[in-house]
Structure 1
């Protein structure tokens, strides 16, 4: 059965990077002066990473490919996002990028591509509630050598998201909640299967991102072949 990889973290308030954990399932939760930021390790072939906003490192040493650091509260405005090798805690960052976060907004930051070509792709996340007996879902393409991709549900010949290019995502859309859903990905307009996700249960009222990592021309042996992953927000 499919398992969503998610890492929850708690840091000292004195760092003022992480001020509390965030959960969008709590209808009473409010972020008056902070943003909620989650981070996804989408760099196939790279070892465990650590990340920081400005000089405040999260200090995670088990953040591996396809893992997600769950939402944490972060100061808003312009921030310097930094990526480190987790095995070298005193080293300089291997990548930096200026990112901007707004108060009360939720974000997913995807770390993509190799160390030499790394990027941080920021997606705004949905806070809109799903309808009755449904979920909210989007599809993101984080595969550097992939063309536009189509997302399918096994057994249905009509894609549910089409022509999603690298570093982009579809809009969130409603999809019926169901058990043992199998997602598949293909090149836009083509029939050859590129990757399949293990069966996943879509629980009503939840929000999901299905995403590709790796490379069409990658190798299954070293874990760089294109694959489908998913996480619940």
Structure 2
């Protein structure tokens, strides 16, 4: 992957070649199977290459790259990752053997990294690597701003959705309360109708002063003044 010198070199790749090149250029290693499958899926779904590059560059591994390198348990894998990270390529057989033997004999990994970084090849590559890093940082910042606007829009949509949910909840409660009120009114009307029918039955008593309601006075008193007037009017009309 030593031909990845500027960001455009990376963005001109396609498919799995692009994912491999992005991993080597940004993380200094080949993609793991899960990562390769994930980013190929995003490419197929229409995600842009710049977005994918920015996502890899923002990964915890990228942000703690030196710590990640030092955490690689296998010495051979560490040498390979160090070459990709510092030289942008796989180790040559002589260099691989030299540094693998150095580490297996108790050599310090940081010393090895410093040694590779001080090599003429690494020094010659430094300006190109610095340019790539600057372009990568600019891309990450650009994508971050784009995502900022997206997430602001998305958050606004979430707030609207929550408000609609609250409104639906309140309307549901109002509907329940209305139904309960209507049921109560219906029950009261049925009760009043039953009492009126009872008072209009043949057994209803009539006095000299006019019809005498068969409803007990204490029940009649529980009605509103209008209901009492209607009751007396209907009772009088029925006994004429």
TM exceeds 0.5? no
Going by fraction, where is helix more abundant, 1 or 2?
A: 2
Per chain length, whose mean CA-contact separation is higher, i.e. which structure has more relative contact order (CA < 8 Å, sep 6+)? 1
Q: Which structure: larger Rg?
A: 2
- Could you state the TM-score of these two structures normalised by the residue count of structure 2? 0.18
- Could you state the TM-score of these two structures normalised by the residue count of structure 1? 0.18
Going by fraction, where is strand more abundant, 1 or 2?
A: 1
